[in-house]
Structure 1
Amino acid sequence: MNIVLTGFMATGKTEISKAISEISKYNLVDTDDMIVEQEGITINEIFDKCGEEYFRKTECEVIKKAAEMKNVVIATGGGVVLNEQNIENLRKTGVIFNLSPDFSVIRERLEEARKTRPLLKQDSIENIKKRFDDRKPFYDNCDYKIKVIHGRTPRSYAMEILEIMESRQGAEKQ
C-alpha cells in the first residue's frame, strides 16, 4: 500500500514525505512536481496563465497516475481532497493521512509560504482561514489524522506514519 499525505498548505507534506522516503522502502512522489514536469511551467505560472480550474483538472490526471504506482509515498497539493475522484483513486492503492495543524501553526508559516503558494499571493489571513475551515470536512474524510504541532521534526512524523502502516499491514495479514 502507498502512503498518501494530504493537508492544507504549509502543513509539512513535502518535508514529511521526504523523511518517509529516506527512512523506508517507499519512493517519493510529489504531485505538484509531477504537474510542473508535465506542464513545463511552475504551479504559479499555471494558476496565472491557465487558472485554477485548469490546474485542478491537471492535478486530477496526475493523481490518477500517482495512485497507480506501487510502494510510494505521495505528497499531494493542499486542494487535492476537494475532488472526490482524487480521494477514491488514492484510496484504491493507498492509506490517506491528513496532516492536521491548528490554524495558528499555518498562520506562523504563511509569511514564507506567500512567496511560493499560488493561492496566497494576494490573500488575506481571513480568506486563508476561511479556506482552511471550508476544507476541514474534506480533510476529515482521510484514513488517519496526524496532529501537526510546533517543534516536531519531519522525521518524527515519518516514524509515526510508518508505525501506523506497519501496524495496519500486520493486522491485515492476520
Structure 2
Amino acid sequence: MAKGLKKTVVLVGMMGAGKTAVGKAIAQILNVPFLDSDAEIELAADRTIAEIFERDGEPFFRTKESQVIERLLNDERCILSTGGGAYMRADNREMILEKGVAVWLKVDLNILWQRVRHRNTRPLLQTANPYETLRDLAQTREPMYAKAEIVVEAEPGLSVEQMAQKVVDALVAHGGIVKDT
C-alpha cells in the first residue's frame, strides 16, 4: 500500500549510523522520495565533501549545508538524510522542527567504528587516532541528537530493512507523520 508523509522525515545521527542506507529503505517502504543533503551539496559544488572541507574549510561547508537543508525542507516531503554535523547547528534544528520531524538513528560507538574505520571519505576522521576522534565526536554530538523528536536505537545484527521498518513503526507510533493514501 502506498503511504504518504505529512512532513519531511529528517534522519540525524553520527557518520556510519546508516542514515543513507536506512533512509533509502524507509523511502521504499513508504513509497516516497529519498534525498541526501551531502549528495545534494556535492552535486551543487561539483566536488566531494572531503574536497570542500580541504579547499574551503568546515565553516564554509556548514553554511552551504544549512542552505541545502533549508531548500530540501521547502521541497516535496521526503526522507532526508543529513550529514552527522548538520543537527549541531541550532538554526538547522529549528528549521527541521518547524518543517519536518527529526529521527535520531542511535548507534553504539563500536558499531559505528566497524562501519567507518576502513573509509577514507570521512574528513573529520583524518586524524592520528580516528577511533578517539569518533568517540569524542559522539560524546559531543549525542546530547544534541537527543533533542530529536524520535529516537530509534540500532541493535546488533539488524539488517538495513529491519532498521528501516523499526523507524517506520516509530513514525506511525509517534502519529501525525505517516498517512495512508
TM-score norm. by structure 1 comes to 0.91
How far apart, CA to CA, are the structure 2 residues paired with 1:170 and 1:15?
A: 21
2:38 is aligned to: 32
Percent of paired sites with the same residue: 28
1:100 is aligned to: 106
Aligned residue pairs total 171
How far off its partner does 1:75 sit? Answer: 0.2
Segments of structure 2 that go 5 or more residues without pairing to the other structure are 1-6
Segments of structure 1 that go 5 or more residues without pairing to the other structure are none
Higher mean C-alpha displacement, 115-124 vs 140-149: 115-124
How far apart, CA to CA, are the structure 2 residues paired with 1:141 and 1:169?
A: 18
Q: 1:159 to 1:39 in 2, by over 3 A?
A: same
2:126 is aligned to: 121
Q: Does 1:56 align with 2:62?
A: yes
Which of the numbers 143, 147, 151 marks the counterpart of 1:137? 143
**Partner AA of 1:50 in structure 2:** D
More helix by share: 1
2:176 is aligned to: 169
1:82 is aligned to: 88
Q: Does 1:9 align with 2:4?
A: no
Given that 2:125 and 2:133 are in contact with CA atoms closer than 8 Å, whether structure 1 keeps it comes out as no
> Once superposed, which parts of structure 1, at least 4 consecutive aligned residues long, lie more than 2 Å away?
163-167, 169-172
TM-score norm. by structure 2 comes to 0.88
How far off its partner does 1:123 sit? Answer: 4.7
Given that 2:127 and 2:133 are in contact with CA atoms closer than 8 Å, whether structure 1 keeps it comes out as no
User: What SS class does the counterpart of residue 116 from structure 1 fall into?
Assistant: coil
